Amino acid sequence: MEARLRRLSPEANAALVDKPIVIANLEDQHRIVLAVNAAAAADGITPGLALAHARAVQPNVVALPAQPLDDARALERLAVWCLRYSPLVSACAPDSIWIDATGATHLLGGETKMLETIQGAMAGHGLTARVAMAASPGAAWALAHFCPHAVTVSSAPADLNPLPVMALRISLATGRSLWRVGLKTIADLRHVPRATLPRRFGKDLLLRLDQALGQAPESIEAVLPPAAKRKRLTFAEPIGTADDLKRTIALLAPPLCAELEKSQEGARKLDLLFFRTDNRVETIRLALARPSRNSAHFIKLLSDKVETVDPGFGIDAAVLTAWRTEPLFPHQIDADRGVDGIGDISDLVDSLANQVGARNVYCIASHASDIPERVMQPADPANHPPASWSTNLPRPVRLFSPPEPIEVMAMMPDHPPARFTWRGESRLITHADGPERVFGEWWQDIREVAEVRDYFRVEDTQGERFWLYRDSRLTTENTHRWYVHGVFA
Amino acid sequence: MSYVDLQVTTNYTFLRGASFPHEMVAAAKIMGHETVAITDRNTLAGIVKAYDAAKQANVKLVTGCRLDLMSGESLLCYPQDRAAYSRLVRLLTVGKRRAEKGQCHLTYEDVVEYGEGQFFIALGDYANDALRGLLQKLRSDFRGRSYMALTRRFRPNEIQRLSDLATLAAACCVQTVATNDVLYHTPDRRMLQDVITCIRLGRTIDALGHEREWSADRFFKPSAEMARLFKMHPEAVERTAEIAARCTFSLDQLKYQYPDENLFPGLTAQEGLERETWKGAAVRYPNGIPAKAEDKVKHELKIIAQLEYAPYFLTVWRIVQYARSIGILCQGRGSAANSAVCYCLGITEINPMHRTLLFERFVSASRNEPPDIDVDFEHERREEVIQWIYKAYGRERAALTATVIHYRSRRAVREVAKALGLPEDTAAVLAKSVWGWSEAGIPESQARNLGLDPTDYRLKLLLQLSQEITGFPRHLSQHPGGFVITQERLDDLVPIENATMEDRTVIEWDKDDIELLHMMKVDVLGLGMLGCLRRAFDLLSAHKGLDYTVDTLPKEDPAVYDMLCEADSIGVFQVESRAQMSMLPRLRPRNLGDLVIEVAIVRPGPIQGDMVHPYLRRREGKEKPHYYKDELKEVLKNTLGIPLFQEQAMQIAIVAAKFTANEADQLRRAMATFRNDGNLNVFGEKFIRGMVENGYPEDFAKRCFSQIEGFGTYGFPESHAASFALLVYASAYIKCRHPEVFLCAILNAQPMGFYAPAQLIRDAIDHDVTVLPVDINASRWDCVLEWQAQDVFAVRLGFRMVPGAANEIMAKIPCPETPYQNIEDLWRRTGAPVAQLEKLAEADAFASLGYSRREALWIVKSLSDKPLPLFMAADQAEGFDRPEVVEERVTLRALAAAGEVVEDYATMAFSLRAHPLSFLRGELTRQRWKSMAELRRLKDGDRVRIAGLVLVRQRPGTASGIVFITLEDETGVGNLVVWSTIFDKYRSVIMTSDVLACVGRVQREGEIIHVVADSLYCLNDMLAGVSKDGADIEIKQRDTYGSLTVDPSKMRFHSHDFH
Amino acid sequence: MQTGRKTAVLKDLRERIHRLERLEAPTRRSAVKALPFGIPALDSLWSEGGLPTSALHEVNSVSVAGFAAASAFAAASAGRLGKPVLWCSTSPDFYAPGLAQVGLPVSRLIVVRARSEKEVLAVMEEALRHASLGCVIGETPRLTLTTSRRLALAAESGATMAFTLRRRRKDSALEPIAAASRWRINAAPSSPHLIPQSGRGRWTLELLRSRSGATGSWNVEVPDTQGYLHLPSALADGSTVAPFESRGERRAG
């Protein structure tokens, strides 16, 4: 729950901090509340309620859509983080993590201390966690979910007896059925002859009961540590010159690329860290338009940035990490130098971007708009959608931004001008086409509600062709403003 | 020659046109056009509205239609004359009947088949091969009646484009016509038009891109401007008027004819009607018809003859006859229904001698209004009548009328917000905050209260545009039962389409349209109470040997009125609502006439007109009737000088405000039709000015008019009230004299009325009715009466009361020759699925077999739906029951008494054992919470602490934010009034409590007691405490992700709420 | 491992030699040597049968409209190459829909907004040397003999066509630069049209200098959507438009 809030932008997060928030999911055409925050709980909203009902209770409730996939991923990340406590950790969707603490407890000062440490660490992540330790994963799950204490250490299966049947990880429907016949706790269930249960409540119930009591084995699926590729160099003597740094780069990049090649991967993000003798770290960070494991390319890009590194009193270690990688197969490397499209010039793009700034290297995407200056949008060269514009609307090759005001002689209501003066030069118009009427995008800005532009394609006596328009909004002097917006080829 | 707009798309081309037909006509007129055409896409749905507006504005309307063919070609089509109009209607009907509702599938071949006498204008923006093909086809098929449109789009190379088009047309020997392709009447609607395009395409405005309408200059322009815009093609402009002049057809020419029933060979309809009327009179008056009645019948027959309405009366008579013949209870109402003729014909049971209403008031030549008779049928059997009408008259002659579904605030907000790309939750919050149906839009202050920023531009747009679209037609739906029946083919008059409901066909026009064209409509409506009454009559006849009908019930029984005066009216037709119940003790009805007033007075009209209190004062004798002038005394003497009925308001308009009959007619229509323009205000000024000039006080005039406005929201004429009053009396009589019959009938007629079965059962028990639980060996599907002693019957609840029970399964259970021995026996003999047996177990239906609810469930759960094994079938053949399962005996913990009650409430929403609160009484008393019985002993203004189970939470749209809550305990029900400030403060308590406690002040109005709440508390925990069995460890449910930890004990009580 | 390093060294050596010899790297596709206009009067000026591709060309103009025409001329030429195009400018105000209409599909265009004239030249040089582009267009008001030489060298070594677009004052002198061709383009009145709207635009296209020594001046119509210039249907000298077929043949050859 809290993990989700952290995914929102800081501003959004701040705006929501005291609001009642629920996470709702669509089930059978109804949005059902899955989870609530403290403010919503205080208003009496509980999971399982229809969102419509929740709104009747508290009309200001903010409903966020459930994102089970993202949550599962976040849980997985958290599980990876928990590897620090034990090598065997498993994420159990939607809200639990198992840590196999066999032989690990003494490291953290005993069982209770370990659980408290974990709880504190989770709080540090901004998460409210309840932690329990028991002899089986099922029992630990049950206690963590249903024991009133935040930290529980259980020694005997009998500790489970007072817990409700829902602690057995059974479906809500099964839970309801048990409740209806008066079987409400695990103790109730243990009193009933085992043989009577499966035909009434399904096979899973006994399995879950046995797993909780440690009478049936349960295998947990462990998460593995992420395999970030990295190469490290330590220097006997601190280094400092630009040439030294470049040499270091030349030494680090090839083995990293070799490793990437082994795993058929390419790097998208590279970090080069220089550890200074004074315990500070200098960083060169690179983002690549396409995955790559071309060491010459890496060396060039990194070396170009060596001037930004301040070696201080010397550098005694360097680490090059490919911290984001993507699969890259050999056939992808040389292919794609197609005739159409950009082809594989990503290294050029990377290099230019590192020179003039990533923002200043772009492709052009088309945007469906009637307003001429809005039809082009800068796009990422690595991944840009095909651009196309209507060809039957003649358009200039250069467009002034902003349009330049002109003085004209034109007849109302929609005749082309006979003459216009621009940058001090008066031009007599010989040919004109128009008007092409363009209406403002009223939903963008209130000023565009009344905006109507009448565009004219005009040619003067010298054959120079301009794109003029009249803004139909009247000025305070009760006249119209005219502009030249572009020049035709 | 002046220009005529021949291409005008109104908002009856749903989600394309952005102005009403009447706005289009008015705008054309303002632009100086004498003539205008309406061409909606594949529909004539808006044409009558345009025709009406054109008539008012003195503009000639060219009836037309845009035909969008399946091939992608588009044509404008204008019928030249009446015959061609019929062909166009036929064409549209063909296209619509072969497609799904709302669609029309037409081909060019269809157009050729029905194309005689039509003018066609081909549409196309570019001179391409497709257009050339279409022009060549049109030229060869329709010669001089085919044209091609030239339309300015304000795009580059326009002059070239138009000239290419003109050249193409010339090459195909087709003449050009200038059109303006109007989509809205003024430029202001441009934004709205973009928004409806978004709604139509399901996109947001930001993603609309080039789907936005091309040119936004789609409004009317003066002829001179059109001439200027087409100065290269002057002939195309001139031709518009030529075509318009050649289209001589007008909707005036539609001649509607009532079906000539022809039921009596050799007799005219009038002769037949007279014969049947006198025959009926002889039955109604077995001792000879009184002279006064005879005069009245003669008088009415004369007017009917004069207006040629006889076939209409015969049609209604025929439908009623049919329904009676198959045992369906029905009753007529409406303006013409309360006549002596209808009484004699058996259409109504209102004896016209008891009323002084004038027949002319309902059926009058000057009012220019066709007669109107609605017939109510038993709700669940109405479909039989509908299908009979289709069969008897044929689908070409009978169809349901349409109802135009308009945008209301809520939907407008939701859809516009989506189009503007606003988050779903903003829209939801805003939409939810619109209580009920409203046309008012959402004011800024309200948005601010909801925590939204009204200065946000998109939100501003949302508020503005959703208000603008409110009132727009969105789609056509079917009228609940308004039938149009014709003598000639109906599909010569109006296009007919398929309804969403199977086997129904609907015309494109709504009731206002057909009224305007003087077409006749019979409303075949469903009424739940008639089904209830029929069941009651059947039960009375079967068990008590009493053969009653609505007509033959003992009349004016004082005991019945005594009961009503005490507001003891739960379940009684119409007067069971809270508002009606608070009126009963004040009005103190003593006869049928009083009931008519009772039914009519608690309506928006009299309430908005502030007529209720003056009437009550005069009735109680606190104030003398005062008529201002004698002319009004005639109108208002039955209601002590206070106008209460819609008819009276109309009469006042004529008598006191000096409206002409025609104006009054317009007023009535403005009143009845939902319109978001200020049409009614124009009448308001005239009405008030008229009355004041005529010497009435302005205050009175204003109140009269407010009342008329109230009728607009929900019109309720005396003629309806009179018919309803009869049913009020009938249902009250049965409830009063035969409460067990009443309960049994009303439970079997559910769902209907204001109360849930739980309240009806409780009310019956309070009236000493014995109610027996659902039982596997005694119940049937329906509730039945069980004989207990001479003339004493108990109500045995039926399986229909078990939530989730399936009729077809349960029908196999009842009344075996040998009772079921145990659950397995039942399971084996009926083969009922386990899921259904579980429902019975949860409803505690096995109690008489000695099983507790839990035990029954435990056993049922051990059974399975798999077919019996072979050997078991063999055993059965030998009469030997081998048990299905052999297993250890399990002792389940028994539920405590309170637990059983809570379970009863959880499954059935009522309990025959006890009230859950009776178990809490000790604790409640300790905490000084009072019971409902104690509440009844308190005085007005007393402070009170009261607690009960929440039955209903209501927030009436008219009551500006007040919430009514009904609480119940073992001693009765009590009503809370929560003002909006208190509601906001205690909102979550109110909405989440099953047991609610309230500290407040008593407000007494006669017999009616309210508690005005000051503070509220949730006592759910107390309830949870009593229902607990054994030593459950309380484990607090915590907020966690996923439904895994939802406590299954959290079973909510069923209350009827407003969200 | 050993062999791997050896081949890498060899490869490196080989590339260096190629660079020294100003030959194309063997991995690169053999590029088109010349870009024909499709107009015989122009194409016959070069022995290659069109504008040399691995070379620098300069397009001059003395007015705003002329600069637009110059942009269109470069864009149309670049578009006909059918390979990615990089356009570098300190103020890239060209309008993609308009460029598409003179034959430069924008999906092949990469834009670099440079922060200085110096950066324009640096970007051009790097892009030209990268050798994967069809054409590099740069907007630069000043160009010296030295800088133009560097660009020409880069164009040659990267087998990439280069255009510099230069807007100059009407009366300024043309300093010598190392370009394979030097053009001046200005707008010319279009033909009278029956309907009072402008017809196809026209240019006065002047070849001021070329490596082959040829110069000349032509009146042409603006490029079509395929990027081809046309001669107006009735020229003053009475010659007619080159038939479409002949253009096609030349393109094929």
A125: pLDDT strictly greater than 80: no
Going by pLDDT thresholds of 50, 70 and 90, the confidence category of residue B433 is: low
Amino acid of residue B36: V
A chain contacts of residue B190, beta-carbon cutoff 8 Å: 439, 442
Rounded to 5°, angle at Cα B567 from B562 and B573:
95
Q: In this complex, which of A145, A367, A433 lies closest to B1045 when CB atoms are compared?
A: A145
State residue C92 phi and psi, 5-degree precision.
-75, 85
In this complex, do B157 and C197 lie within 8 Å of one another by their Cβ atoms? yes
| d(CA C43, nearest CA chain A) in Å | 22
State the pLDDT at residue A331. Answer: 61
Q: What is the torsional sign of CA C57, C63, C64, C66? A: negative
Which pTM value belongs to this model?
Answer: 0.74
CB atoms within 10 A of CB B266: 6
CA distance B1040 to chain A (A): 6
Predicted local distance difference test score (pLDDT) of residue C29: 41
In a domain, C62, yes or no: yes
pLDDT tens digits, B681-720: 777 888 888 888 888 888 888 888 877 776 665 557 777 8
Residues of A in contact with C114 (CB under 8 A): 356, 360
Share of chain B above pLDDT 90, in %: 40
Predicted pLDDT at B735: 95
Say if the Cβ atoms of A457 and C197 lie within 8 Å.
yes
pLDDT tens profile A162-193: 888 888 988 888 888 888 888 888 988 888 88
A457 CB near a chain B CB, below 8 Å?
yes
Domain assignment present for C20: no
Nearest to B900 by CA among B890, B910, B885: B910
SS (H, E, C) B337-394: CCCHHHHHHCCCCCCHHHCCCCHHHHCCCCCCCCCCEEEEEEHHHHHHHHHHHHHHHC
> What CATH number is attached to the domain comprising C117?
3.40.50.300
Distance CA(A431)–CA(A153), nearest Å, equals: 90
Could you tell me which of A323, A283, A284 has the C-alpha nearest to residue A302?
A: A284
Residue C81 falls within a domain, yes or no? yes
Q: Is the pLDDT of residue B167 over 90?
A: yes
pLDDT-derived band at B226 (thresholds 50, 70, 90) equals very high
In this predicted structure, the answer to whether residue B8 has a pLDDT above a threshold of 60 is yes
Residue C11 within a domain: no
Please answer yes or no on whether B1045 and A47 come within 8 Å at the CB atom: yes
Beta partners for C202? C188, C221
Instruction: For each of the domains in chain A, give its residue range(s) and CATH number, in order of start.
Output: 2-66 (3.40.1170.60), 70-212 (no CATH), 229-327 (3.30.1490.100), 398-487 (no CATH)
Interchain CB distance below 8 Å, B1059 and A56:
yes
The larger pLDDT score, comparing residue A101 to residue B39, is at: B39
> What is chain A's mean pLDDT, rounded?
82
Q: What is the pLDDT of residues B586-627, one digit of tens each?
A: 889 998 889 988 988 887 777 777 778 888 888 888 888 878
pLDDT band for B363, please (50, 70, 90 cuts): low
Going by C-alpha positions, the residue among B15, B418, B407 that lies closest to residue B205 is B418
Residue C27 within a domain: no
In chain A, what residues touch C196 (CB-CB under 8 Å)? 431-432
Q: Which of C101, C188, C198 sits opposite A431 (nearest CB)?
A: C198
SS3 assignment, position A272 = strand
Contact indicator for A316, A235 with CB cutoff of 8 Å: yes
Q: Say which residue the tokens 């992540």 belong to.
A: A125
CB contact under 8 A, C72 and A463: no
How big is chain B, counted in residues? 1059
Are C27 and C130 spatial neighbours (Cβ–Cβ below 8 Å)?
A: no
Q: If we measure between CA atoms, which residue out of B202, B12, B188, B203 comes closest to residue B102? A: B12
- CA distance linking residue B96 with residue B497, whole number of Å: 5
Which helix or strand (DSSP H or E) is residue B1014 part of?
A: strand B1008-1018
Find out whether A404 and A425 touch, Cβ atoms under 8 Å: no
Q: What counts of helices (H) and strands (E) characterise chain B?
A: 44, 21
**What is the C-alpha to C-alpha distance for residues A15 and A24, in angstroms, rounded to an integer?**
19
Which of A59 and A101 is assigned the larger pLDDT? A101
Q: Which of B525-539, C28-42, C239-253 has the highest mean pLDDT?
A: B525-539
Segment B878-891 shows an average pLDDT of: 64
pLDDT at A301 over 70: yes
Q: Tally the C-alpha atoms within 13 A of residue C226's C-alpha that lie toward its C-beta.
A: 10
Instruction: Give mean pLDDT, residues C210-237.
Output: 83
User: What does the block give as tokens for B129?
Assistant: 């091969």
Rounded CA gap, B1000 and B987, in Å? 16
Q: What are residue B507's phi and psi, to 5 degrees?
A: -85, 170
Tell me which of B14 and A319 has the higher pLDDT.
B14
Residue B47: C-alpha distances to residues B96, B244, B250 (Å): 17, 16, 11
CA distance B805 to B836: 6
Residue C242 resides in a domain:
no
Nearest to residue A310, comparing CAs of A257, A245, A364? A245
**Sign of torsion, CA A256 A257 A261 A267?**
positive
Tokens read off for B366: 């000057």
Q: Which residue on chain C is closest to A343 by alpha carbon?
A: C84
Taking a contact as any Cβ pair under 8 Å apart, which residues of chain C between 176 and 215 contact chain A?
A: 186-190, 193, 196-199, 201-202
Asked if A35 and B1049 come within 8 Å (Cβ–Cβ), the reply is no
For B2-156, where are the E strands, in sequence order?
35-41, 60-68, 74-79, 118-122, 146-151
What pLDDT score was predicted for residue C9?
Answer: 61
List CB contacts of B183: < 8 A, sequence separation 6 or more. Answer: B9, B16, B17, B18, B19, B189, B193, B213, B218, B219
Q: Based on the structure, what is the number of domains in chain C?
A: 1
Rounded to the nearest integer, the mean pLDDT of chain B is: 84
Q: What angle do CA B807, B809, B810 make, to 5 degrees?
A: 65
- Per-residue model confidence (pLDDT) at position C60: 92
Please state, in angstroms and rounded to a whole number, the distance separating the CA atoms of residues A127 and B896. Answer: 42
Instruction: Write out the residue range of the structural domain in which residue C59 sits.
Output: 50-188
Mutation pick from B863, B1039, B1056 vs chain A, by most beta carbons of A within 10 Å, is B1039
Least confident of A104-113, B521-530, C64-73: A104-113
Q: Pairing state of beta strands A425-439 and B496-498?
A: unpaired
The confidence score (pLDDT) of residue A325 equals: 78
End-to-end CA separation in angstroms for chain A: 59
The region, left, alpha or beta by phi > 0 then psi within -120 to 50, assigned to residue A202 is: left
For CA atoms A123, A125, A130, A133, the dihedral sign is negative
Task: Report d(CA B361, CA B683) in Å as an integer.
Answer: 21
pLDDT in tens, B996-1005: 999 999 988 7
Structure-token pair, residue B778: 């005694």
What is the pLDDT, as a whole number, of residue C22?
Answer: 46
Phi and psi angles of residue B305, each rounded to the nearest 5 degrees, phi first: -65, -45
User: Chain C contacts of B160, Cβ < 8 Å?
Assistant: 195, 197
CB pairs under 8 A between B and C: 7
The β-bridge relationship of strands B521-527 and B995-1005 is: unpaired
Nearest chain B alpha carbon to A449: B191
Bridge partner residues of B175 (DSSP): B147
- Span C72-78, average pLDDT: 95
Contacts with B, C 179-208, CB within 8 Å: 195-197
Residue C94 DSSP symbol: B
Q: Which of A228, A224, A218, A227 is nearest to A89 (CA)?
A: A224
Structure-token match 């061409």, residue found? B39
Amino acid at A300: K
Element (H, E) at B794: strand B792-796
Query: What confidence tens digit (pLDDT) does each residue in B185-211 have?
Result: 999 999 999 999 999 999 999 999 889
- Which of helix, strand or coil describes residue B1002? strand
Instruction: For residue C130, give how far its alpha carbon lies from the nearest alpha carbon of chain A (Å).
Output: 7
C-alpha distances (whole Å) from B747 to each of B624, B751, B760, B766 are 45, 8, 8, 16
Sequence-separated (6 or more) residues with CB below 8 Å from residue B355? B338, B593, B722
pLDDT tens-digit profile of A308-339? 888 888 888 888 888 677 888 776 554 444 33
Show contacts of B17-21: CB within 8 Å, 24+ apart: B17/B183, B17/B184, B18/B183, B18/B184, B18/B189, B18/B190, B18/B192, B18/B193, B18/B196, B19/B183, B19/B184, B19/B185, B19/B186, B19/B189, B20/B46, B20/B49, B20/B472, B20/B677, B21/B46, B21/B47, B21/B49, B21/B50, B21/B53
Q: Which of A178-192, A341-355, B370-384 has the lowest mean pLDDT?
A: A341-355
User: What residue in A sits closest to C127 (Cα-Cα)?
Assistant: A348
Average pLDDT over residues C140-159: 91
Whether the per-residue pLDDT at B1012 is higher than 80: the answer is yes
CA-nearest of B599, B385, B403, B406 to B20 is B406
Query: Phi first, then psi: what are they for B492, rounded to 5°?
Result: -90, -15
Residues B137-166: tens digit of each pLDDT: 999 999 889 999 999 999 988 888 999 999
Give the neighbours of chain B: at least 3 Cβ pairs within 8 Å: A, C
The Cα–Cα gap between C212 and B432 comes to 79
